[in-house]
Structure 1
Amino acid sequence: MTDARDRLIVALDVETVVAARALVATLGDAVSFYKIGMELAYGGGLTLAQELKDSGKRVFIDLKLHDIGATVERATRQIARMGMDFLTVHAYPQTMAAARAGAGDLKLLAVTVMTSYDDADLEEAGYAYGVADLVARRARQAKAAGLDGLILSPLELSTIRAAVGPDMLLVTPGVRPAGADAGDQKRVMTPAQAIAASANHIVVGRPITRAVDPRGAAQAIVGEIAREIAGA
């Protein structure tokens, strides 16, 4: 069960550190790994990230860095100094190279295509590739740049695992328990389906954080992951 618990990352997508601390307290030992994204980071969440690390939790900083190389390298180095576990950067070759230069032991995850995008969204944004082709291209570039893993939707997991091999971390949002509202996600699977498709970690937010019983919701997902691992 410990391995299953570590494979669930709970997204602390709440407005305040006070709300995040209350949620962490409610979840207790049901959750060992948290994601802090932009909403909370810009509201004092980096201080909370350090508190979580100090309490023995693992922490994923999801800032999706993308800027000129020198800025990305220095920002990555700052997160690395905090002892965080994961950091996201956008999968542009210059950005990934700069982050790699500043990362040290920090694990870098390249964001391929946002799980709220589909082919029509990419066309509207001016991309010449559909989702599948762009994810594959960026996955190859991330591996060449020496990044540790990828952020991608569950629907691309099996194809990309075959392309990048067993060592890259595949971390997927867009995971919803059966019957849950997909929200703004367009490319989704259940937790068991994502694990079966070779995800190392799944990221779940609202189905846990907005549940009537957040701890029970987290435990149910961990149980689903554990059953899938046991049956693999």
Structure 2
Amino acid sequence: MELCIALDLPSKDENLALVEKIKDYDVWLKVGFRSYIRDGADFIKAIKAINPDFKIFLDLKLYDIPNTMADAAESIMGLGVDMFNVHASAGKRAMNTVMQRLKKYEKRPIVLAVTALTSFNEEEFMDVYNENIAKKADKFAHDAYESGLDGVVCSAFESESIKNITSREFMTLTPGIRPFGEDAGDQQRVADIDYAHSAMVDFIVVGRPIYMAENPAEVVEKIIRKL
């Protein structure tokens, strides 16, 4: 299981200050909507300038018509990131189109599909998808698996079931991880490290428990020891 740290601070300078504090650790860094829209590709270059060995997860959740998603995926290839994601609800044709487009590259990033956002509770999810979270997450994951993706984004509570209906090698990345039982904030389906381990999670995403800490490096060290 690997640690992915969310760079969700209000400014580029604050995010890069955090990166400086944790530059000696072998971790993934997640660049999401706010950071990428505000700071662009230069932000990724700035991270790599601090430590070129950092692995970058570009969390933009591509969702559009198939050809547009494939165009965007191909553009991502030029950014030097190590992982990105699409929305499974865009459908199998869209996911398959993305993967077919990337076939021509000798080396490509890991591609994940978002199943059910961890901010959803059951009632909210039912309003949108007319199905319960566990069942729909399984269906989305199976679609992604059949479309040739490498894994999915899901909560820790769906990870084991998804592994069972796809493959143990099919990756699960889980946001909403509160390593030592911290406050859930705006997330609904949160878990700790022990539960993530038991659910065979491959990547845990941790944000606020690290970047809100007085000593982020100390928290990273503690999490890595736990992993």
| C-alpha deviation, 1:45, in angstroms | 4.1
Letter in 2 for 1:93: K
| C-alpha deviation, 1:161, in angstroms | 1.1
Aligned to 1:114: 117
Aligned to 1:130: 132
Contact kept? 2:67, 2:94, Cα under 8 Å: no
Aligned to 1:172: 174
Aligned to 1:222: 224
| C-alpha deviation, 1:167, in angstroms | 1.6
Does residue 94 in structure 1 map to residue 93 in structure 2? Answer: yes
| C-alpha deviation, 1:178, in angstroms | 2.4
Cα shift readout 1:44-67 (whole Å, capped 9, x = no counterpart) = 142221333452210000000001
Does residue 52 in structure 1 map to residue 67 in structure 2? Answer: no
Task: Report the Cα distance in structure 2 between the residues aligned to 1:169 and 1:203, rounded to whole angstroms.
Answer: 13
Aligned to 2:162: 160
The count of corresponding residues between Structure 1 and Structure 2 is 219
Which secondary structure state, in structure 2, belongs to the residue aligned with residue 30 of structure 1? Answer: coil
Cα shift readout 1:145-187 (whole Å, capped 9, x = no counterpart) = 0001100000111111111112211111111022300111111
**Structure 1 alignment gaps of length 5 or more:** 226-232
Contact kept? 1:10, 1:31, Cα under 8 Å: no
Moved more, 113-122 or 27-36: 27-36
Write out aligned runs for 1:136-147 (5 A): 136-147=138-149
Contact kept? 1:176, 1:204, Cα under 8 Å: yes
Contact kept? 1:15, 1:43, Cα under 8 Å: no
| C-alpha deviation, 1:31, in angstroms | 4.6
Task: Report the Cα distance in structure 2 between the residues aligned to 1:74 and 1:153, rounded to whole angstroms.
Answer: 28
Contact kept? 1:89, 1:95, Cα under 8 Å: no
- Call closer, same or farther: CA 1:81–1:169 in 2, change over 3 Å: same
Task: Report the Cα distance in structure 2 between the residues aligned to 1:158 and 1:215, rounded to whole angstroms.
Answer: 30
- Call closer, same or farther: CA 1:96–1:53 in 2, change over 3 Å: farther
Contact kept? 1:8, 1:204, Cα under 8 Å: yes
Using the size of structure 1 for normalisation, the TM-score is: 0.89
Letter in 2 for 1:24: V
| C-alpha deviation, 1:122, in angstroms | 1.6
Letter in 2 for 1:184: D
Contact kept? 2:115, 2:154, Cα under 8 Å: yes
Contact kept? 1:17, 1:45, Cα under 8 Å: no
Which secondary structure state, in structure 2, belongs to the residue aligned with residue 50 of structure 1? Answer: helix
Contact kept? 2:41, 2:79, Cα under 8 Å: no
Which secondary structure state, in structure 2, belongs to the residue aligned with residue 171 of structure 1? Answer: strand
Aligned to 2:12: 17
**Structure 2 alignment gaps of length 5 or more:** none
Aligned to 1:42: 37
| C-alpha deviation, 1:111, in angstroms | 0.1
Task: Report the Cα distance in structure 1 between the residues aligned to 2:213 and 2:93, rounded to whole angstroms.
Answer: 40
RMSD: 1.5
Percent sequence identity is 32
Task: Report the Cα distance in structure 2 between the residues aligned to 1:192 and 1:30, rounded to whole angstroms.
Answer: 21
